[in-house]
Structures are given as structure tokens and as C-alpha cells.
Amino acid sequence: MLICKVVKPLVSTNRIPDFEHKHLQVVLDGSTQKVAVDAVGCVPGDWVICVGSSAAREAAGSKSYPSDLTIVGIIDHWDPEAAKAAAAGSPAPTPAPSSLGGQSSVAGQPSVGGQASISGKTS
């Protein structure tokens, strides 16, 4: 899985029939722009979780779907600078108290380490 930032929608009116009418988004993976099938209804600026390979095809609707990257969740809270600091071994700043009372928005489950929570939107 990848954490990416949605840059903008991608419109392609001439497609192969198997591509159906799924929405496409340009996402930023580090400094690389990629195209992902939007299975959750995200908007530019959202931080999202993407899956690749056979998981991307299945998440897009079928194992035969022609996708190698699919957006499967929208991250509610993500601080990329804190994530970089944690990866570098320096302590991340303590997050401000949340209005969620220490719970993520994923079915009321406690958040893990207070770092991120996701929500999946269905269309």
C-alpha cells in the first residue's frame, strides 16, 4: 500500500470498454505522478491509501479490470512532516487533542498511535 496525495482529476473520454466509467485521479507518490482509479470519491488535496497489482484490480471491481493502482481509502489526518521525522528516528511532535476523543473515525475503533485514520466513501 502507498500513501499518496491527490493532485487533480484526469479526464479520458476515449477508453477501452473494459475501463468502464470509473473516475481517475492523478496522485503524487513522493515526487512521481501516477494515475489511480478512484474507488472512494476523493478530491484534490486529499491524502489517500492506494493499492497496486492484483489488489488494485480487485478493488476497482474485478480481477480482470485494467488497473495497477486504485485508491481504497481517504486518510482523515496525515502530517507528512511528522511521518518523515518518525522515519528518520527523531521524535514526532505530540498531536493536538482531537475532537474524536482518542478514537478514529473507522467504526469507532481506537486510533493507532494517533498518527492517521482512514475513511472509505462508497458511491
Residue 83, helix vs strand vs coil: helix
pLDDT at 114 over 80: no
Q: What is the pLDDT of residue 33?
A: 96
Side chain identity at residue 8, one-letter code: K
Q: What is the torsional sign of CA 31, 33, 34, 40?
A: positive
Query: What element of type H or E holds 71?
Result: strand 69-75
pLDDT at 61 over 60: yes
Q: What is the pLDDT of residue 120?
A: 54
Q: How confident is the model over 64-98, as pLDDT tens digits?
A: 778 889 999 999 998 888 877 888 886 655 655 55
Q: How confident is the model over 6-26, as pLDDT tens digits?
A: 999 999 888 777 777 789 999
